[in-house]
Amino acid sequence: QSVLTQPPSASGTPGQRVTISCSGSSSNIGSTYVFWYQQFPGTAPKLLMYRNNQRPSGVPARFSGSRSGTSGSLAISGLRSEDEADYYCASWDDSLPGWVFGGGTRLTVL
Amino acid sequence: EVKLVESGGGLVQPGRSLRLSCAASGFTFDDYAIHWVRQAPGKGLEWVAGIIWNSGGTGYGDSVKGRFTISRDNAKNSLYLQMDSLKSEDTAFYYCAKGPDFWSGFDSWGQGTLVAVSS
């Protein structure tokens, strides 16, 4: 079991808005930042969102992030077929201490 | 352009050792923390180990603590992972990943090297 909990799958049609949740605890998301990574099959993960809601350069504004209490979420608006990928959340956990990941969410664009 | 290239993976028997390397270029290597993150085939991501810029601090995931050792050579722009007492559950793609600092995530990743532990 992963320390951070994500839904295993999510889906939407082109143009829709989809949200992926990431549930943690007071020792990780509740006390520090949440990060999001995007991974296409057979490739390395790529940083999608850092410090809860900051987009690295090159990431479209359609992607947004937020944190509330011990949970984080990633929203993708104007869904496109090329957004079909696996999405992982991550956070530093003070109690371990160490980095923890969610189990990943496979996004399907219908 | 930031580039991280892992090497050293392969097939190894349970109980044996293996050393991974990560060659870095395109940035000032000794300004940044570097980590190893692994992914078993078809599974999720797992943080393995990290090291701060001057080797003054390291951290390990619970599943590898006491068996794996992370190190770096800033003069050679290289990161290493010494893996001892390997188990079948260590089978995974191993990625090196750069972080702005130890606690700020992983902003660039290598393409990974596959380690398969099997008799």
pLDDT tens profile A85-109? 999 999 999 999 999 999 999 999 9
Average pLDDT over residues B55-69: 94
pLDDT averaged over chain B? 96
User: Contact A98/B111, CB-based, under 8 Å?
Assistant: no
Average pLDDT over residues A70-96: 97
CA of A35 vs chain B CAs: smallest distance (Å): 7
**How many CA within 13 A on the CB side of residue B61?**
19
Checking if the pLDDT of B55 tops 80, the result is no
Q: CA-CA distance, B94 to A61, in Å (whole number)?
A: 30
- A97 cis-preceded (ω within 30 degrees of 0): yes
What is the tens place of the pLDDT at every residue in B29-43? Answer: 999 999 999 999 999
The residue to which tokens 């956990």 are assigned: A93
Q: Which percentage of chain B shows pLDDT scores above 90?
A: 92
CA B29 to chain centre: 15
Q: Which of B39, B45, B52, B62 to mutate to test the interface with A (most CBs of A within 10 A)?
A: B45
> Least CA distance to B94: which residue of chain A?
A44
User: Contact B62/A96, CB-based, under 8 Å?
Assistant: yes
**How many CA within 13 A on the CB side of residue A97?**
10
